[in-house]
Amino acid sequence: MPETSTSAINALVLDELFKVIESRKGDDPSTSYTAKLFTKGIEKIAQKVGEEATEVVIESVKGDQKALTSESADLLYHLMVLWADQGVKPKDVFAELAKRQGISGIDEKASRPKD
């Protein structure tokens, strides 16, 4: 059996988490935090993403690697709840990242449509 790459394992973990998150839609909000977020709507979900992103920034500035790891996991989870709520699939985000591979960040940003 071929050895599974770390990146394949990481993608599998994210895919499995997303499946669990999606499966919580319509569940009882008194027994599922994810279901509770879905019932509270996009404003609460987006708020939680912002809060977790702020906590990631704080822990990175403090240099607390363990706390940064924990807050990063929280951010990824809440971001995936946001994706599920808005109909975005991880594969779509991964495809966008793959499309940008090998392109300078400066060039990629310059290629975006202007508002």
User: How does pLDDT run across 91-107, given as a tens digit for each residue?
Assistant: 999 889 888 888 776 76
- Which of residues 105 and 71 earns the better pLDDT score? 71
Q: Which two tokens stand for residue 29?
A: 């909000």
Burial 51-77 (b: 16+ CB within 10 A, else e): ebbebbeebeeeeeeeebeebbebbeb
Note whether 80 and 17 are within 8 A (CB): yes
Q: Where are the domains of the chain?
A: 7-92
Average pLDDT rounded to a whole number, residues 47-75: 98
Residue 108 has pLDDT above 80, yes or no: no
CATH number for region 7-92: 1.10.287.1080
Residue 35 has pLDDT above 60, yes or no: yes
pLDDT at residue 10 in the model: 80
